[in-house]
């Protein structure tokens, strides 16, 4: 299959919106946002207030929202995080589009945010459409490498059936998985998020899934830190 060369999750204005000066402003705004979230204020209303005050673009606001959670939610997510090594004898459940798109963005040099709950998230979003690109091949190779290095014996990918080209991606994953030394399944289902709420050992950075699942693995961050040295990561971890 000949794959199009595409930069996933980039924007021509990113050099301005995420300059050194702009990131410092985002970090100040994050402190204010978290302070308000810790006191029970509504996320959407306070984000509008802070975003308007700092005159942030929609993309900057998205970075701030995706990177900032209340202390209670942050601590709860971190307590449920488990290592890949502890899961080697059990099946892991992978939020397919979530993991693959984040890695595609990392490989494209697109903006990623290191969030205050310890995850790395992208700003690309998925709105019902998806296409396989050249970075998909690289992303799956890295996933396979990490699965091998951590000796995971069984994994299941879950893809949203309603997203375009999900069937093609399933086939592409299975083709790659033939080279992986583990038991692998890929399922197309409706409502992947709610399905993963009841699972342990979930691979995702989706905040709603993290708040509901039994346990999760910070797999995407591990891959990015181990194999994508030039990833464009904005520091919004609250440190």
Q: Band the pLDDT of 1: cuts 50, 70, 90.
A: low
What proportion of the chain, given as a percentage, has pLDDT over 90? 91
209 and 145 within one domain: yes
3-state secondary structure of 117: coil
pLDDT tens, residue by residue, 105-160 = 999 999 999 999 999 999 997 777 899 999 999 999 999 999 999 999 999 999 99
121 and 87 within one domain: yes
pLDDT averaged over every residue in the chain: 96
Q: Band the pLDDT of 239: cuts 50, 70, 90.
A: confident
23 and 55 within one domain: yes
Report the DSSP beta bridge partners of residue 232. Answer: 111
pLDDT score, position 3: 80
pLDDT score, position 47: 94
Q: What is the CATH number of the domain that holds 176?
A: 3.40.50
How would you class 18 by CB atoms within 10 Å of its CB: exposed for 0-12, middle for 13-18, buried for 19 or more?
buried
CA proximity to 62, closest of 8, 130, 11: 11
In a domain, 8, yes or no: no
93 and 27 within one domain: no
In a domain, 121, yes or no: yes
pLDDT tens, residue by residue, 171-191 = 999 999 999 999 999 999 999
114 and 60 within one domain: no
Query: Can you tell me the distance from the alpha carbon of 182 to that of 21, in angstroms, rounded to the nearest whole number?
Result: 46
In a domain, 31, yes or no: yes
112 and 20 within one domain: no
Give the residue numbers spanning the domain of 26.
Answer: 13-68
Give this prediction's pTM.
0.96
Between the alpha carbon of residue 197 and those of residues 18, 82, 93, 100, 162, the distances in Å are 33, 16, 11, 19, 19
In a domain, 176, yes or no: yes
Whether 225 shows a pLDDT value over 70: the answer reads yes
In a domain, 226, yes or no: yes
Query: Can you tell me the distance from the alpha carbon of 7 to that of 94, in angstroms, rounded to the nearest whole number?
Result: 23
Q: What are phi and psi of 164, to 5 degrees?
A: -60, 140
């Amino acid at each position: 299959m000949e794959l199009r060369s595409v930069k996933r999750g980039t924007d021509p204005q990113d050099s301005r919106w995420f300059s050194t000066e702009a990131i410092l402003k985002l970090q100040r705004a994050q402190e204010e946002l978290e302070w308000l979230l810790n006191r029970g204020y509504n996320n959407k209303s306070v984000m509008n207030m802070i975003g308007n005050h700092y005159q942030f673009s929609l993309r900057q606001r998205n970075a701030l929202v995706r990177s900032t959670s209340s202390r209670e939610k942050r601590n709860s997510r971190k307590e449920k995080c488990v290592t890949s090594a502890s899961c080697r004898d059990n099946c892991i459940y992978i939020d397919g589009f979530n993991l693959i798109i984040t890695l595609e963005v990392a490989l494209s040099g697109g903006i990623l945010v290191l969030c205050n709950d310890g995850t790395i998230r992208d700003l690309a979003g998925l709105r019902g459409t998806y296409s396989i690109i050249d970075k998909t091949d690289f992303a799956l190779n890295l996933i396979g490498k990490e699965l091998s290095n951590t000796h995971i014996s069984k994994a299941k990918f879950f893809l949203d059936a309603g997203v375009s080209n999900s069937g093609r991606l399933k086939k592409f994953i299975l083709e790659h998985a033939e080279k992986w030394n583990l038991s692998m399944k890929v399922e197309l289902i409706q409502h992947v998020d709610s399905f993963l709420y009841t699972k342990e050992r979930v691979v995702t950075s989706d905040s709603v899934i993290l708040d509901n699942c039994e346990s999760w693995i910070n797999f995407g961050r591990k891959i990015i830190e181990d194999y994508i040295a030039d990833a464009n990561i904005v520091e919004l971890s609250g440190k």
